[in-house]
Structure 1
Amino acid sequence: MTGEAIALLVVSLVVVWGGLAVSIIALVRRPERADFPHGWQNEGGPEDRPEEAVEHDT
């Protein structure tokens, strides 16, 4: 392998594994979103609630 190929390999490994590490750290710090509207964390979306369903003109 040439020096350029090794350098590109190292850069790509740092990008991939660094992104994985950053995402794991972010998930450990804030595992669950708290800014969802009331009732959306443990229930289905609007399609499960017919009173809030939106009709489309298609």
Structure 2
Amino acid sequence: MSGEAIALLVVSLVVVWGGLAVSIVALARRPERTDWPQGWQHEGGQEDRPDEPVEHDT
């Protein structure tokens, strides 16, 4: 392998594994979202969604 190929390989590995590491750290610091929009699950696991689907004008 040429030096340029090895450099590109190292950069690619740093980007991929670095992104994985940052994602794991972020998830470990804040594991559960508390700012869900209306209609998503709230504390206690109950949903705030209507029984019938909402029709939208398109």
Do both share a fold (TM > 0.5)? yes
Give the AA of the match of 1:21. A
In the alignment, the residues of structure 2 paired with residue 17 and residue 50 of structure 1 have an alpha-carbon distance, to the nearest angstrom, of 43
Q: Which has the higher helix share?
A: 1
Q: Secondary structure at 1:36's aligned position in 2? A: coil
* 1:5 Cα deviation after fit: 0.2
**TM-score of the aligned structures, taking structure 2 as reference length:** 0.73
Percent identity of equivalent pairs: 75
Q: Unaligned regions of 5+ residues in structure 1, if any? A: none
1:50 aligns with 2:51: yes
**How many residue pairs align between the two structures?**
55
1:14 aligns with 2:51: no
Select the structure with the greater relative contact order (CA < 8 A; seq sep ≥ 6).
Answer: 2
With over 3 angstroms needed to count, the CA separation of the structure-2 counterparts of 1:56 and 1:38, relative to structure 1, is closer
Structure 1 consecutive aligned stretches of length 4 or more whose deviation exceeds 6 Å: none
Q: Secondary structure at 2:25's aligned position in 1? A: helix
1:1-58 Cα offsets, whole Å, 9 max, x none, are: 0000000000000000000000000000000000124673324573xx226x411356
Q: Unaligned regions of 5+ residues in structure 2, if any? A: none
